Amino acid sequence: MSNFAWLSFLLFSLFVVGCAVGSFLNVCIYRMATERSISWPGSHCGACVRPISSWYNIPLLTYLWLGGRCARCGARFSIRYFLVELLTGVVFVGLFAVEVGSNWQQAWTGSGWEALQWGQFPPDVVPYYLAHIFLACLLIVAVGTLADGADVPPAVVIAGALGGFGFAWIYPNFMLAGSPALFAVWLVPVVARLTRTDRSGADVALVAGGFLGWQPVAVALVAAALIPGSCLGLRLALLLPIVWLGWPLRAWLLHPAALVVLLMLVLWSTQRRETTDNSSPRI
């Protein structure tokens, strides 16, 4: 097998696995938001309540084949199910290409592609990649449940806190902000809970702290607080991937000129919001 064929097979396999995981995340988002069990009953149509067979439960393909409808009663399924599966597959491939292939975060010395094309993996790449994939999946579930108007599921918060704490303990050198003391992982969520009544931001920060370090989470939390909106946790969960992947550019992003531009954008956004609030309603 040529190097190109091997890498193509690897990325395609990651996409397929990601779409399958996305199908499970759909179940978690829908059922956790309504406080239902994610293990029972099996996949079924919400309209006719009939079980969905394995043949009609293939990620992406079944939705396209059936036109987003139930094969039995014809009820339409939300496009969100398709998008979550597609997004998860893209995240599996994209995160591997960025963090493992190109070594964007400089977690080790050298290029990952050079090792991968010979069938070798950089040191400790498997736990590094799986830990960040786990974090990405937790954030997808958090965004989905918060968008539905529910809280971040306690199971997601606990899984993120324990998983992140274990990752920070075993692989402190893989944290984006270096190797801070482990207690600092809990600093941002505690401060967020003490200073705001919206606990969703603290929950999301607690999920991500151990995997990324408290500094990137603090930057994302401040940026989320500057953006208007009713749910701090939703804004934080959406901004975390940007700060996460953009962390190597922090020297430029935190430059005084960049901070001035950010301040101007915040002032412009605030002024525009006040103008909109004072405008006459359309009757």
Q: Per-residue pLDDT averaged across 40-64, rounded?
A: 71
In a domain, 114, yes or no: yes
Verify that 109 and 180 share a domain, yes or no: no
Q: Per-residue pLDDT averaged across 164-171, rounded?
A: 85
Full residue range of the structural domain in which residue 10 is found? 1-123
Verify that 74 and 15 share a domain, yes or no: yes
* Those residues with Cβ within 8 angstroms of residue 233's Cβ, 6 or more apart along the chain or in another chain: 142, 146, 152, 198, 199, 200, 201, 202, 203, 204
Residue 138: burial class (beta carbons within 10 Å; 0-12, 13-18, 19+): buried
Number of structural domains the chain divides into:
2
The pLDDT tens digits for 73-112 are 767 878 888 999 999 999 999 999 999 988 888 877 777 8
The pLDDT tens digits for 214-270 are 788 888 888 887 777 778 889 999 999 999 998 888 766 665 666 566 666 656 655
In a domain, 15, yes or no: yes
- E-strand spans in the chain? none
What's the whole-number average pLDDT of the chain? 79
Read off the pLDDT band of 279 (50, 70, 90): very low
The pLDDT tens digits for 123-166 are 788 889 999 999 999 999 999 999 988 989 999 999 998 898 88
Distance CA 208, CA 135 (A): 7
Query: Rounded to the nearest 5°, which phi and psi values hold at 44?
Result: -150, 160
Q: Is the pTM of this model over 0.85?
A: no
* Structural domain ending residue among the three candidates 123, 141, 173: 123
Verify that 23 and 93 share a domain, yes or no: yes
Give the bridge partners for 51, in sequence order: 44
Verify that 4 and 102 share a domain, yes or no: yes
Q: Which two tokens stand for residue 125?
A: 């790449």
CB 85 within 8 A of CB 78: no
